[in-house]
Amino acid sequence: MSADITAAGTDLRAHADAMFLRKKLAAFALPAVVLAYLAYTFFAFDIAGLAERARIDNARTLLADTWSYKTHVTRDNRSGGMTVAIEGERKGTYPEGTAPDWVSLGEVTRVDLGEGHVVEFLPGNALRYDVPGFGPIEASVSRARGVQINLDEAELPDWISYSSARLNITTEAGRVSLTRNRTEVFRYFPGWELFFFTLDSPYHGVPLSRILFGARVDPERANLAGAFHDFWNNDMWRHRDVAWAICETILMAFLGTFGGAIIALPVAFLAARNFTPLRVVRFAFRRVFDFLRGVDALIWTILLSRAFGPGPMTGALAILLTDTGSFGKMFSEALENVDGKQIEGIRSTGARPLQRYRFGVIPQVVPVLLSQVLYFLESNTRSATIIGAITGGGIGLLLTQAMITQKDWEEVTYYIILVILMVFAMDWLSGWLRRRLIRGGDSGH
Amino acid sequence: MSVIASDPSADIRGDYLRLTRQKRLYGGLVLAIFLLLMISGFSVAEGRNAGGFISGLPQILDFPAMVFSEAWEKRAQLPGHLVHYVPALLETLNIAAVATILGTGLAMVLSMLSTRGLALWPRAIPLFRRVMDVMRAVPEIVIALVLIFVMGGGPVPAVIAIAFHTGGALGKLFSEVNENADLKPVEGLASVGAGWAQRMWLGVVPQVSPNYFSYALLRFEINIRASAILGFVGAGGIGYELKNTMSWGQGKFDEAAAIFLLLFLTIVAVDQVSGYVRHHLTRQGGH
């Protein structure tokens, strides 16, 4: 008898041990499988080769450009003409003969880079750079002998790169470059240049208090109107175009989301079990929804832009088609969950089918559907940004354009911040509407 | 006497009718504003589009017809094309899968750091919530494009971009799941001196893992689409091949058709399988 019990005990014990072993193995197997998969992708994606493909200098310019800008002081070594231009752009060029206060134009142009660094453009295509703690560097360029320098070529520090074709000096204060064609000095400043007004605007450099309360800066125009006009039409930052682009993106999301919902609502009845007894019809509409969702916004965008050309409407229609599929599926599931008693009650008053739907079904499902639609509104704002980059519309297009030029990273940063703020705003709006409308809809219960 | 008695009921009736009328008026007004917004929005969008809606409508089937006829002409080559693009499809799937795995890991940590009762630093909960909000708000394409500039084209920028977004999106859902986790196992583990990571891994994760898995699977579906789109802007995979065949134009439409087909079938297959699995998971979970 007691032997029996111990036998059963050991049996049970062995059983439990086996179970624990199985569980332990399972607990280790899953992470192991994931790790093995990650190891496989490590080689499939060639992560090891990434180091040589990565461009660290690109990352450095990107980082520097996002928070700072440079002003170019340039001498054309053939004609001797001087230009001072912000970011070297035409729209940021100072008018002939004028310069910021750290550049003094003249026979000898003196550029003060700050912290004791001074560069002088000497006559005869020569240059003198006083580096504190190092001493003056003198260089000149001539057609016959190329770039000449006063330092011993063998003992140049690593921040000077020199050949007979070009001299580059990079210090913490700025950068100097000398070639046969031109002598250039770059000075870096924190901030985004000319964000409010370009140089040709009379409001550039005028303090805000004077624009708001002072006398007219431009006698032709009232201060506020003129300042707004110049800001809005800023050639470099294109605030007007950016505002339009944001509106386009939001419009795409809005039209796509609600258009999809409006189309999906009646069709969803045909795919719901309790409203469409015919199995064939239900099946057909469900497959239509699956198809619309499965084709994906990317393919819809490509197909539609062939017919309608690039622009916000194409993007809106692409979102609309994909969302009709998603909403159709979600709505028909919600409709299958409606309470039949309310419909029966309405029917008992002699209501026609349309009235039964209007008063028996719609009030039940609208809060649920609306909340789903509003959830989509926020995520579609992000989709619209991406679709805009493909089909050519909205802030997505501006973003890709600014990235392709690979130099206006401050604009890229600006757009990214705007995109994030836009998504936040839509998130907040959809949450607010959800609370308002659904509470309003619930008040009857 | 009878006058006094009938008055309040008439009042109630009048009040009710007035309330109903007011409600209807507001409802109608909201509907009218909404319709106005839709119509004017559509006309603005159409005005800023390269082609109009009405003029483009007849052409809507031209391109699919062109692709289809070319694919039909060269139908003998279609199986070959399908096989040819499987590696690219695999890359797209790998990008989505790796990004989902990494994003899920990130989301698990972030969600636990931002759930009351579980957080390692309770004071930093709002901070981690904001971090997740920002991560969710950044569209994948933004990070992908910046990283492509720095790292060169390829799958890695896409993986990082999608994983980043996934971390934020799943983190929010996970922290909602965490709120419902039973804290007793966590307390039990704490009483035997377990560290924070041990408490989370052994006390919380076993409770919530079915829900986590279900959400991650849903995210995997979304990420396949995202990965295809990112390929289109230069991150490799099937989207990149699609872009190449599309910019080639006529003559390669049979290959474009093969890619369309592959992408469509993949999305539908993953959609169906994950729907089935999720259905079973949530049912098992006792819901």
Distance CA A26, CA A10 (A): 24
pLDDT in the model for residue B84: 87
| Least confidently predicted of A198-212, A416-430, B26-40, B47-61 | A198-212
- Which residues of chain B are within 8 Å of residue A47 when distances are taken between CB atoms? 156
Provide the token pair at A438. Answer: 């659904």
Q: Please say whether the beta carbons of B222 and B205 come within 8 A.
A: no
- HSE-CB for B187 with a 13 A CA cutoff: 5
- Of A401, A423, A424, A421, which is closest to residue A411 (Cα–Cα)? A401
**pLDDT tier, B100 (very low <50, low <70, confident <90, very high otherwise):** very high
pLDDT in the model for residue A440: 55
pLDDT in the model for residue A7: 66
pLDDT in the model for residue B159: 93
pLDDT in the model for residue B6: 55
Distance CA B254, CA A109 (A): 64
- Chain B touched by A67 (CB under 8 Å): no
Distance CA B199, CA B118 (A): 9
pLDDT in the model for residue A70: 80
- Chain B touched by A394 (CB under 8 Å): no
pLDDT in the model for residue B97: 94
B285 pLDDT exceeds 60? no
A255 pLDDT exceeds 90? yes
- What's the average model confidence in pLDDT over A366-373? 86
Q: Please say whether the beta carbons of A438 and A367 come within 8 A.
A: yes
**Backbone φ and ψ of B122, nearest 5°:** -55, -30
Q: Please say whether the beta carbons of A342 and A360 come within 8 A.
A: yes
Q: Please say whether the beta carbons of A272 and B245 come within 8 A.
A: no
pLDDT in the model for residue A3: 57
- Chain B touched by A42 (CB under 8 Å): no
Which fold does the domain B71-284 belong to in CATH? MetI-like fold (1.10.3720)
Residue extents of the structural domains in chain B: 2-49, 71-284
**pLDDT tier, A59 (very low <50, low <70, confident <90, very high otherwise):** confident
Interface residue of A382, A426, A430 to substitute, partner B, most B CBs within 10 Å = A382
Provide the token pair at A425. Answer: 């705003």
A127: Cβ–Cβ under 8 A, 6 or more apart, which residues?
Answer: A119, A120, A121, A138, A139, A140, A176, A178, A183
B287 pLDDT exceeds 70? no
Can you name the residues that pair with A314 across neighbouring β-strands?
none
Distance CA A166, CA B206 (A): 65
User: Cα–chain-centroid distance for residue A189?
Assistant: 24
A244 pLDDT exceeds 50? yes
**pLDDT tier, B162 (very low <50, low <70, confident <90, very high otherwise):** very high
Provide the token pair at B285. Answer: 């979970």
Q: Please say whether the beta carbons of A382 and A416 come within 8 A.
A: no
- What's the average model confidence in pLDDT over A128-140? 83
User: Using the beta-carbon criterion (under 8 Å), do A309 and B264 form an inter-chain contact?
Assistant: no
- HSE-CB for A279 with a 13 A CA cutoff: 0
**pLDDT tier, A56 (very low <50, low <70, confident <90, very high otherwise):** confident
How many Å lie between the alpha carbon of A57 and the closest alpha carbon of chain B? 8
- DSSP output for B117-137: TT-SSGGGHHHHHHHHHHHHH
Provide the token pair at A114. Answer: 């700050």
What type of residue is A414?
Y
Distance CA A371, CA A436 (A): 11
**CATH entry, A239-442, from 3.90.850.10, 3.40.50.300, 1.10.3720.10, 3.30.360.10:** 1.10.3720.10
Using CB atoms, which residue from A258, A262, A423 is nearest to B137? A423
- Which residues of chain A are within 8 Å of residue B149 when distances are taken between CB atoms? 55, 58, 62, 403, 406
How many Å lie between the alpha carbon of A13 and the closest alpha carbon of chain B? 24
User: Using the beta-carbon criterion (under 8 Å), do A306 and B63 form an inter-chain contact?
Assistant: yes
- What's the average model confidence in pLDDT over A252-271? 91
- Which residues of chain B are within 8 Å of residue A398 when distances are taken between CB atoms? none
- What's the average model confidence in pLDDT over B182-189? 90
Q: DSSP 3-state assignment of A250? A: helix
Could you identify the residue written with the tokens 């219960």?
A445
Higher pLDDT, residue A167 or B131 = B131
pLDDT in the model for residue B154: 81
- What does pTM read for this prediction? 0.81
**pLDDT tier, A443 (very low <50, low <70, confident <90, very high otherwise):** very low
pLDDT in the model for residue B165: 93
Residue of chain A minimizing CA distance to B236? A45
Provide the token pair at A374. Answer: 């509003």
pLDDT in the model for residue B1: 46
Cα torsion for A300, A306, A308, A309, to the nearest 10°? 110
pLDDT in the model for residue A183: 85
- Chain B touched by A28 (CB under 8 Å): no
Say how many CB pairs under 8 Å bridge A and B.
Answer: 172
Q: Please say whether the beta carbons of B110 and B167 come within 8 A.
A: yes
- What's the average model confidence in pLDDT over A181-188? 84
pLDDT in the model for residue B220: 92
Could you identify the residue written with the tokens 């607010």?
A432
Q: Please say whether the beta carbons of A66 and B150 come within 8 A.
A: no
Distance CA B93, CA B266 (A): 9
Using CA atoms, how far residue B190 sits from B118, B123, B194, in Å, is: 11, 20, 5
Q: Please say whether the beta carbons of B62 and A308 come within 8 A.
A: no
**pLDDT tier, B286 (very low <50, low <70, confident <90, very high otherwise):** very low
Q: How many residues does chain A have?
A: 445
Supply the ipTM of this predicted assembly: 0.84
| Least confidently predicted of A235-244, A414-423, B3-12, B182-191 | B3-12
Can you name the residues that pair with A82 across neighbouring β-strands?
A75
